[in-house]
Amino acid sequence: MFGFGKTQNVKSTPGVNLASVLHDEKAKSEIILNSIDDGVLLIDTNHAIQLFNKGAEKITGWNQKDAIGLDYKSVIKLVNDKNEPYTAEQDPLEQIFNEIAPIRDNSANLKTSSDKTVAISMSVSPLISDTNEVTGAVAVFRDVTNERQEERQRAEFISTASHEMRTPVAAIEGYLALAMNDRVCHIDSKAKEYLDKAHASTQHLGKLFQDLLTSAKAEDGRLQNHPVVVEMGELLQQLTEDMRFTAEKKGLGVDFLIGANTEDALSSSHTSSGVKMVRPLYFVHVDPERIREVIVNLFDNAIKYTEVGKITITLAGDNDVVQVRVQDTGHGIPAEDIPHLFEKFYRVDNSATRTIGGTGLGLFICRKIVELYNGRIWVGSEFGKGSTFYINIPRLSSEKAQELQIKEAAQNLPTGTTQTSKV
């Protein structure tokens, strides 16, 4: 306000020439830009740097005079967490000319002129002319080394604390189970009822610590991951058999369908005459333990949130992807909750779910694991009718799968088939 009034005074003062007013305006803009602590950078459509403020000098280690006119890529060297240079698709300064909408990147790192790595948060906006053409881009970036360090420490604390707390909780759970075992102890029915409740709460606590530990690891990339060739049909068949018991205990049916024609239940892969039918093989390159976690989580949820009906697991795919679907006939999910479902600690809050225990971490962990394999997870649901969770994972051709299996065998690693049969 104050500055604006002053400018108008200058403009209206007779005898003040335009050149000096413009010079004043430029000087003022420069003062403002250079007093901003964040780095500010302007590039034209040829990627040449047109503006580079003091903040940018401080973060990058580059001198303004040297940086101006250079291709931004020689000055703003962006790298990921593994210190690998950003690809063109990852680089917001490159992408801005394709997307023509502001881009934010909170997980970038920048190599300074002395090759030091600085954690930065960057926001890039296009400059659009009156004729709707992109004439350049402005980037504003900040050194977030301290914030990221604190985030890492917080994740480390959560993972250490949950790891340490799991041990005593497991001991309590074990002793409660012993106390409730008729062959070990004799207790009256009231005491058994209380111990039952204590046991259920301890199990919930144990699951919460386990989920906290896994999600902290998933966030900072420490999740154990040993991908091998896995044939999803075999893995899912075993998993379905393992999980069938829990579903049937609640009176729910379980179907496993496989192949492009999903009407062929897997049980029909052996006909009554004993002739083995051929089914497609769905190879993927994943850690079977991690994928198992995802499927078990989706299956457990399907049981938890379904009162009557059945759970159907379907395996299908095309040349590029393998798709797993976990479908239930349960409560369903309200449309407004769907966009948040895969966020950390998100739980649908309604009368149907309020009494059902959970941590709100399961689907977040599922998403992190699926993304580890460049896959995608999403849900389709009709409230009151049921939900279907979908997972897409890049498919390996049989030739590629064989080639990788030979390599795995040569490295003396167990092959996908062996690992699959273990789970």
Q: What residue type is 70 in one-letter code?
A: L
Least distance from C-beta 365 to ligand ADP, angstroms? 8
Pick 124 or 302: Cβ nearer ligand ADP: 302
Pick 353 or 415: Cβ nearer ligand ADP: 353
Least distance from C-beta 214 to ligand ADP, angstroms? 12
Of residues 257, 318, 313, the one with CA closest to residue 282: 318
Least distance from C-beta 168 to ligand ADP, angstroms? 22
Least distance from C-beta 154 to ligand ADP, angstroms? 21
Pick 60 or 306: Cβ nearer ligand ADP: 306
Q: Is 230 left (phi over 0), alpha (psi -120 to 50) or beta?
A: beta
Pick 126 or 360: Cβ nearer ligand ADP: 360
- CA–chain centroid gap for 2, Å, is 47
Between the CA of residue 230 and those of 120, 187, 393, 420, what are the distances in Å? 38, 48, 12, 6
Tell me the C-alpha distance between 4 and 371, whole Å. Answer: 50
Pick 52 or 364: Cβ nearer ligand ADP: 364
Tell me the C-alpha distance between 9 and 24, whole Å. Answer: 13
Provide, for the chain, the percentages of residues in helix, strand and coil under a 3-state DSSP scheme, each rounded to the nearest 5: 45, 25, 30
Pick 23 or 340: Cβ nearer ligand ADP: 340
Pick 97 or 383: Cβ nearer ligand ADP: 383
Tell me the C-alpha distance between 182 and 154, whole Å. Answer: 44
Least distance from C-beta 369 to ligand ADP, angstroms? 13
Pick 301 or 419: Cβ nearer ligand ADP: 301
Q: What residue type is 255 in one-letter code?
A: D
Burial 212-238 (b: 16+ CB within 10 A, else e): bbbbbbbbeeebeeebbbbbbbbbbbb
Least distance from C-beta 294 to ligand ADP, angstroms? 11
Whether the Cβ atoms of residue 55 and residue 37 lie closer than 8 Å to each other: yes
Pick 280 or 334: Cβ nearer ligand ADP: 334
Between the CA of residue 410 and those of 209, 272, 396, 397, 413, what are the distances in Å? 38, 40, 19, 20, 7
Least distance from C-beta 347 to ligand ADP, angstroms? 4
Q: Which residue is nearest to ligand ADP (CB)?
A: 358
DSSP state of 114: T
Of residues 390, 206, 372, 167, the one with CA closest to residue 289: 372
Least distance from C-beta 341 to ligand ADP, angstroms? 5
Least distance from C-beta 302 to ligand ADP, angstroms? 5
Token pair of 404 as six digits: 């990788």
Pick 258 or 348: Cβ nearer ligand ADP: 348
DSSP state of 176: H
Binding site for ligand ADP (CB under 6 A): 301-302, 305, 328, 330-331, 333, 341, 346-348, 353, 358-364, 387
CA atoms within 13 A on the CB side of 201: 6
Least distance from C-beta 300 to ligand ADP, angstroms? 8
